[in-house]
Amino acid sequence: MTITPPAINSLTPPPTSHAQGWPGLIEAYRPYLPVTDQTPVVTLKEGNTPLIPVPTIAAEIGRQVQVFVKYDGLNPTGSFKDRGMTLAISKAKEAGAQAVICASTGNTSAAAAAYARRGGMRAFVLIPDGYVALGKLAQALLYGAEVLAIQGNFDRALEIVREMAENYPVTLVNSVNPYRLEGQKTAAFEVVDVLGDAPDWLCIPTGNAGNITAYWMGFCQYHAEERCRRLPRMMGFQAAGSAPLVTGEAVAAPETIATAIRIGNPANWQRAIAVKEASQGQFNAVTDAEILTAYRMLAAQEGIFCEPASAASVAGMLKVKDQIPTGATIVCVLTGNGLKDPDTAIQHSNNPFKAGISPNLQEVAQVMGF
């Protein structure tokens, strides 16, 4: 099914309060989104995720730096993908679509399945066999997606679904769908609405490079409306084994523990490069070891459980901390919930699991060190 480019309504400030509670992204930011009164809104009340200060991590930098994390793992299906999917599915339904399709490393499949089924559509998902965390696969299956695991990586899966959408009556809802980025840009609006301005730096995990593109769209739109005084430096961080934007070359066989960003040929490559240049930002690589250190730090010291790929933003920020200006305000995007990938959490926790303890007070106390 052909996707037409979005058109933006005339811009007016979004509502600042909602007597009936948060209405979901489309209603909260309707003037900034390509919707009309005829658009059937498919929502799970996504968005409005917290911007959480992380003082222990800020102390690693010093110099009066303030660090916040945008915890999009608290969206309805546990990732930022819900932001784009509410709009992509709503517009697909408006166009009369009966089915949608996506390639996914996990989070997109969960979001596409949830929103498509809520909108009364079939959802087809292609995943790389053996490279999707079980929490994400479980979501897609239970939401009712028809999941096809291919013997290939995400990049090949994306090639196939793009061809499917061109030749069969299914709508593509990967980030090459323009409505996906339109929905995802609302995260930038929320950051500015809370801080009162854009941050000095926006640190973000980068896989298919749609989210860094979407955040920049949002900041620029708010800046044009004078809702923020500045634009941030956009700092994208990739896993070292899957870092095409850093090396400048596609990676044929990407490898990383951070499966959500295990993408060797980003669909939004050129857009992401344009964002880096326009914002005077950077792309940098972080190792799996650095990702896991930040992953554990966020959980054990800040009480925030994100999936490994999300921790790439914090790992990257700490890796380049010497470049951070004194007094800067930094936002690190946490794209997904830690419950998406419980196996990695158990395998890489530094805390021992103590089993086989006798059910009596004295032994329990002894094991506790009393």
- Separation between Cα atoms, residue 234 and residue 50, nearest integer Å: 20
Tens digits of residue pLDDT in 158-196 = 999 999 999 999 999 998 999 999 999 999 999 999 999
Q: What's the pLDDT at 10?
A: 46
- Series of mean pLDDT values for 10-residue runs along the chain (370 residues): 49 53 97 97 98 98 97 98 98 97 92 97 92 88 94 92 96 94 98 98 96 98 98 98 97 94 94 98 98 98 98 98 98 97 92 90 94
CA atoms within 13 A on the CB side of 33: 31
Q: What's the pLDDT at 19?
A: 54
Residue closest to 348 by CA, chosen among 216, 239, 257: 257
Backbone angles phi, psi at 360, to 5 degrees: -135, 150
* Burial 236-268, CB ≥16 within 10 A → b, else e: bbbbbbbbbbbeeeebeebebbbbbbbbbbbbb
